[in-house]
Amino acid sequence: MSKNKGFSITSAGRYSLALYELASENNVLSQVEDQSSSLLNLISLSKDFSNLIKDPTNSQEDLLKVIENISNDNKLENLLKSFLNFLVTKRRFFYVEQILKNFIETCSQKRGELKAELKSAKELSSDEISKITEELTKNFSSKIKLNYKHDVSLIGGLVLQVGSTMVDTSIKNKLQQIENRMIEA
């Protein structure tokens, strides 16, 4: 079992890199990236589609028909459609979600973007989020791809992580530190 899991992680990386290189060579990288995001969104929103992908008893013909329908409905780039069909014929469609996530991550890295996670106790407006993104871009001298989440459990303050750098100014963290000091004393 563990050997199969390891294979899936490495193969997902290889397949996503191959998709990146093909899309780049054919000058359709941004379209394929956008459509990959849409497909991932579809997978997360549609329980039926998600179950279809994960069900090993589905025939290749059924999966190819589904891909054809999705491709026609969403006007998928031919390269992406062919890639999805290839995954089905190679019996790797089970890993499509992981491959597409890796592909989007690869696109981001190739553009030189850094991933950042921001959690705040207070709901932030889109203006505030864009100002934070601009400030991070200046400070880290790199494009920032910010993932924002509102987290009321923080009580107050925020938690920011850019790469391996983390800043935690939340009240929850300060209370945890006080509790740890009291236990040590």
Q: Are 118 and 129 in contact (CB under 8 A)?
A: yes
Question: Mean pLDDT across the chain, nearest whole number?
Answer: 90
CA–CA distance, 33 with 19 (Å, rounded to integer):
10
The answer for residues whose C-beta is within 8 angstroms of residue 175's C-beta and 6 or more apart is 155
| Residue 31 neighbours by CB under 8 Å, 6+ apart | 23, 77
pLDDT, tens digit, for every residue of 16-49? Answer: 999 999 999 999 999 999 999 999 999 999 999 9
Tens of pLDDT, residue by residue over 164-182, are 889 999 999 999 999 999 9
Residue 2 predicted with pLDDT over 70? no
pTM of the model: 0.72
